Structure 1
Amino acid sequence: MLASWLWLSNTGTLPRQGVSGETLSMFSGEGDDVSLPCNNVVYPNCSSTTWNYNRNGSTGTIQEITLGEIKVDQTERAERLSLGSDCSLHVSDVRAEDVGLYICQQFLTETGPKHGGDAPVHLSVLTISSTTPVTDLKPNVNMTLRCSLLTDTQHGTCRSRFSLSWVPNPGTNAQDTQDSSCDITLTVTLQKKDNNRKWTCTLTEEGNVKISIDFTSTFSDIEEKTTDSDDVISTVPGTSNAVKLPISHIMLFVALTIMATIVTIHTRRNRPPKALPPQAGESNRHWSSSI
């Protein structure tokens, strides 16, 4: 990286002045990927770019990218970070712990002073979770979902122009509670039709959708109380449980049985007759003549 900087300097190419501006707000859903832009890049090969991170609720700053190279001690987090071709910071599989203030800075040398201004980016993360265990989800069970926007201030706190809502309207059997503008709860009595249904929480800014996140209610165990038109219930002798067989399987079994019967009849008709045993009278006559 340093060699590239020296080459540019020797050719007389002057680095362009870094541009600083207001803090840029970025939003990501938990589990998604996000790219944080850097608008003060000096060298296009990112050899002058450094990314600092102020973790949520922390007063300290962590330097994660130094002169274009990842400098993170934690292996798991380092694997989720990468630098884009435009020197943007790419975070994959976003988590609640990624919330915070990211600052892109430029340094012309490893030990030299900062060049130009900062390019700060604030990342907020939208989360959705069920307080009802997913293994308990089934018809007639109350499911409670909580949707929150995590910011660097505190849980569910955001500026007044932002708001969360459930889209579309969950229905009349649901109760929507708004703990704050960016922390809402939904309680709904699940119906059989809600299996594999998506419940969507949407973040809007003055009516404009910024980001959405989904939760799918998948039932772990469904009791079948009715049969479909293409299924029948057949009971296996000696058992107390009904076996559900598709009618197509039964029709195939019947057809094979009929075919086997036809083949058996046809084989018997074409089989040559067996030789008859000699009659008792004929045996006696032969014996008499011998005498």
Structure 2
Amino acid sequence: MFSFTWIQISLFLMLLLYLTAVTGKEFHITVRDGDQASLPCENMINDQEKCDSTTWIYGVSQNSTAVELVTLGQIGKNAKHKSDRLSVSANCSLVIKKVTAEDVGRYTCRQYESGQQQGPDALVYLSLITVSGHKSPKTVMLSCFVLTYGDCRHTVKWLHQGSDVDKDGQDMRTSQSGCSATISFKTSYYQEKPGYLATFRCEVTNKNNQEVQLCSFTPLSSCEKAGVDPTKTSVELITTASPTLSSTTQEAHTDCSLLNYVMLAMRVAELLLITVITVVLVRARGNKRPPDAIIVLNSVGSPPVTLSAPAAHQQVQDEAAVNYENLRGPFASVKLH
């Protein structure tokens, strides 16, 4: 039983050594967007002339087709769209300038001699850290996330003045999910306290090599290795390159306010127009005069006579008196016996 156990252990060690020899070395490099990355080629053959035995192959995912970026020391035709950002150093490392999200993936350094591959591949996994911010009228939110090849192998969290932040604190709140983390606080803090953003750091830990990096929100700044005092650097960066927060909500709020002002002006103009029209109609009715002439209809067969207003009034009075007398006449001459 004892000897059988040792046989199993020996076979396991031999298998482990075999797999290490076949797969070669692995490196995990994490940089911030916009930084420069240098990917080492640990299986490089010595005495190469301008890395003419080195080929770099790139894969964005396990299911994607690999692309040759460098073929025997020369930038390949498949990398022409970003050839201005790629170069090969003297030790055959692949140098990528201004790293973006499209550069995240697995890089394979392979050696050739006389058309035959020499030795195992050297693998380099490149990950990218992105820090962004968003401002609304009431809240500022900072986001930090890591783009990786395959599953997330990083932990991400926000620090304030070098310490962890409570998830449900009174002044600020933070949340973590996979390879991302956010922190939010009142906009008034950002506006009233100069350099307040410089007190925040995004801590990114690479589980593959336990490397810890601290990234500030300040643009155009690289992440720093843990243990380095970033106070002086942060103040200089915050002064020379002011952070910019996206404020789409604020812009939408401004547009909405402008529309409200326009609608209010139109309503005021409408009320003024209605008032003017009402005043004009009232004055027109108040200035209406009686007619200057009245048409008087005579008895049947007589033509109508047009009289002026005073004359018509006098005739109406005379006719009333005459009619009254005519009505009284017959009744007055009647006597009873």
Q: 1:19 to 1:89 in 2, by over 3 A?
A: farther
For residues 219 and 120 of structure 1, what CA distance do their matches in structure 2 show?
A: 37
State whether structure 2 residue 107 is matched by structure 1 residue 102: yes
Aligned to 2:225: none
Give 1:63's aligned amino acid. Answer: E
* 8 Å contact from structure 2 (residues 157, 180) kept in 1: no
Q: Which residue of 201, 213, 216 maps to 1:214? A: 216
**Separation of aligned partners in 1, 2:246 and 2:65:** 44
Q: Taking structure 1 as reference, are residues 70 and 176 closer, same or farther at Cα in structure 2, changes over 3 Å only?
A: same
Q: What is the TM-score when the length of structure 2 is the normalising length?
A: 0.50
Quote the residue 1:177 is aligned against. Answer: 175
2:122 alignment partner AA = A
Percent identity between the aligned chains? Answer: 31
Note closer, same or farther for the CA distance 1:21–1:209 as it changes in structure 2 (3 Å cut): closer
Q: Secondary structure at the match of 2:205?
A: strand
Cα pair distance change 1:208/1:119, threshold 3 Å: closer
Distance of 1:218 and 1:54 partners within structure 2: 33
User: Residue 102 of structure 2 aligns to a residue in which SS?
Assistant: helix
* Matching residue within 118, 123, 145 for 2:121: 118
- Per-residue displacement from partner, 1:184-234 (whole Å, max 9, x unpaired)? 11112131244553332121257965323221344799xxxxxxxxxxxxx
Q: Report the equivalent of 1:71.
A: 76
- Aligned partner of 1:149 among 146, 149, 163: 146
Aligned length: 190
- The letter for the 2-side match of 1:179 is S
Q: Which has the larger radius of gyration?
A: 2
Deviations 1:41-84 (A, max 9, x none): 11433110000000146521000000101114454411111111
For residues 245 and 54 of structure 2, the distance between their equivalents in structure 1, rounded to whole angstroms, comes to 48
CA distance in 2, matches of 1:211, 1:125: 12
Contact 1:28 1:126 in 2 (8 A): yes
- Report what 1:80 is aligned to: 85
Question: Which residue pairs with 2:16 in the alignment?
Answer: none
Distance 1:39 1:20, change over 3 A: farther
| 113 and 194 in structure 1: CA distance in 2 versus 1, 3 angstrom threshold | farther
Q: Sort the Cα spacing of 1:40 and 1:219 in 2 relative to 1 into closer, same or farther, 3 A.
A: closer
8 Å contact kept, 1:44–1:86: no
SS at structure 1 position matched to 2:98? coil
Partner of 1:30: 33
> What's the Cα RMSD here?
2.9
Instruction: Give the whole-Å Cα distance in 1 for the aligned partners of 2:244 and 2:107.
Output: 37
Q: Are the equivalent residues in 1 in contact too, given 2:39–2:93 (CA < 8 A)?
A: yes
User: 3-state SS of the aligned residue for 2:217?
Assistant: strand
After TM superposition, the structure 1 = structure 2 runs for residues 247-286 of structure 1, keeping only pairs within 5 Å, are none
Deviation at 1:166, TM superposition (A): 1.6
CA distance in 1, matches of 2:142, 2:246: 17
3-state SS of 1:79 partner: helix
Following the alignment from structure 2 to structure 1, what is the Cα–Cα distance between the partners of residues 99 and 52? 26
Higher strand share: 1
Larger helix proportion, structure 1 or 2? 2
The aligned residue for residue 62 of structure 1 is 67
Partner residue, 2:43: 40
Structure of higher RCO (CA pairs closer than 8 Å, 6+ residues apart)? 1
Asked whether the equivalents of residues 25 and 123 of structure 1 are also in contact (C-alpha less than 8 Å), the reply is: yes
Helix, strand or coil at the partner of 1:94: coil
**Unaligned 5+ runs, structure 1:** 1-17, 222-291
By how many angstroms is 1:21 displaced?
2.0
In 2, the alpha carbon distance for the partners of 1:219 and 1:129 equals 8
Q: TM-score, normalised by structure 1?
A: 0.58
**Deviates further, 166-175 or 50-59:** 166-175
Aligned with 1:164 (options 137, 156, 159): 156
Kindly provide the CA deviation profile for residues 228-250 of structure 1, in whole angstroms up to 9, marking residues without a partner as x: xxxxxxxxxxxxxxxxxxxxxxx
Q: Which residue of 1 aligns with 2:312?
A: none
Conserved? CA contact 1:56–1:152, under 8 Å: yes
